[in-house]
Amino acid sequence: MGAKFHGAPGLEQLLAVMIAPKVHEIARRMEREAKVFAPPTKRWVTVADDTMRHTHIQMNGQEVLGNLRFELHSTKWDRDHRGLGPKTYMLMPKDKSSHAVANLKDCACRADTISGRHLEEHPRPAAGGVGVDGDGVRPRRPDCPRPARP
């Protein structure tokens, strides 16, 4: 028969009060580091010309992370003749890997890279890793050792 433990009344609340600030600090640090390592975004820019298609008009201004694909409606021709589904996914306008022939033909659109404010303020970290100070995340110099964790 094992021993039974009965915590003192209010122990759970006391532990929560002690642990909550550390959990919040870790969450804030992870958020700041995620902003540094996040890729820049890109925005689809539709160029208004005589060959502009409605699927590209709908795309104008859509933003995605730089390592993701834009999502646009497939043209009827691509669905009927190329076997594409209702959506086409492109890394950028004129992306041949999408196999969306009708969406590629005579396309004059472009994708503009948009750097987030946090990426302009804090350059990408060097190979030495990331350090956190009171103002946010900053690159750690390779010759600067990591502080010991308590």
User: Taking the C-alpha atoms of 60, 100, 105 and 54 in order, what is their torsion angle to the nearest 10 degrees?
Assistant: -40
What does the pLDDT average to over 26-55? 83
Q: What is the pLDDT of residue 146?
A: 46
Of the listed ranges 49-58, 73-82, 135-144, the least confidently predicted one is: 135-144
What pLDDT, on a 0 to 100 scale, did the predictor assign at position 148? 52
pLDDT, position 70: 92
Give mean pLDDT, residues 29-57. 82
Per-residue burial over 102-122, b if 16 or more Cβ lie within 10 Å, else e, is bbbeebebebeeeeeeebeeb
Every domain of the chain and the residues it spans:
41-114
CA atoms within 13 A on the CB side of 77: 9
Q: How many CA atoms lie within 13 A of 53 on its CB side?
A: 18
Residue 131 has pLDDT above 50, yes or no: no
